[in-house]
Amino acid sequence: MKRVDIDRYGAPEDVARCVEVADVGAPGAGEVVFDVLYFPINPADVSFCRGTYRLRPPLPATPGAECVGRVSAVGAGVSHVKPGDLVINLQRENWAERRRVRGDDVIAIPPDLDLRQAAMLRINPPTALLLLSDVVDLKPGDWVIQNVANSAVGRLVIRLARALSIRTMNVVRRDSLFDELKALGADACVVDGPDLAEAVKAKTGGAPIRLALDAVSGQATARLSACLADGGVVCNYGSMSGEDPVMPRAGLIGGGQKLVGFILGRGLATRTLDQVRVMYGELAHQLRDGYLSAPVEKVYAIEEIRAALAHAQRGERSGKILVAPHR
């Protein structure tokens, strides 16, 4: 079967290669085998290939934080999924034609889900949901500010916040994105820059903002802090700048603000497996109904992984890059 491996860290389009490896074999007791139908290329996958991600397993290693698959066989003791079911996998190493994993690591999803959307269910939708639910106790009518609002997570935050009657202030790098984000339900949009706090205040009428979601880091974190009310929280969950977040003392000391970090794994770890399954089930139904979605720009074959990785790193894309191992 085909699988993507890296044998060194570096530019993803240079270090990733599609290789032929032995099949995963039949499932043992408590295991599931599924065929990978699609997988997306996420920023974390790019960082993994570069060696800058928090995980650096022994090499060679297989990237891939998420995928959607169809169960081909189940081992003894597995009853929550059966052959033919669509599943997502909670574990990594998904850039392959086939996986064999523990039964508890797969979650069944509705059979009528769009497969491309299902491939992106594992990480971004629950990340957006938990950013809105686990960091600050938000109430209907509260404001949240986020940068990189046109990202996959940012778009999902807009949709999920709208369903919760939470208002979103969306920071982007160019005003040509405003109409697109407002069509999703964004309450207000602003262009990032040194006068961000003044621009935000003008849009909100000075309403207090208690939560800021930061995926850029560096000085962008400080600009979000300047938009927050006293006691507000900046939640950092990414670093598009490649820098550490900068939090000004004026916000921390004078304003009593907090800087916290978020990673999906910690949020899931606070929940039981049944609770995790219920959460993904609810998100999957919102995907099926079309309320949640993420744009896809292009789908590649697994043999084209280097071209796919190069494409995924281009600026100003219109959507995610997916790979179809059985294309």
Note the pLDDT of residue 327: 83
Q: Model confidence at 315, in pLDDT bands (50, 70, 90)?
A: confident
In this prediction, residues 14-27 reach a mean pLDDT of 98
In this prediction, residues 143-165 reach a mean pLDDT of 96
Note the pLDDT of residue 242: 87
Tokens of 236: 């950092």
Tell me the per-residue pLDDT of 38-67, one tens digit each, with 9 for 90 and over. 999 999 999 999 999 888 999 999 999 999
Q: Which domains does the chain have, with CATH numbers?
A: 2-120+294-324 (3.90.180.10), 124-265 (3.40.50.720)
Tell me the per-residue pLDDT of 201-232, one tens digit each, with 9 for 90 and over. 999 999 999 999 999 999 999 999 999 999 99
Tell me the per-residue pLDDT of 228-239, one tens digit each, with 9 for 90 and over. 999 999 999 999
Answer whether 214's CB lies under 8 Å from 145's CB.
no
* Active site annotation includes 280: no
Q: Model confidence at 200, in pLDDT bands (50, 70, 90)?
A: very high
Q: Is the pLDDT of residue 174 over 90?
A: yes
Tell me the per-residue pLDDT of 247-274, one tens digit each, with 9 for 90 and over. 999 999 999 999 999 999 999 999 999 9
Catalytic hit among 53, 237, 280, 291: 53
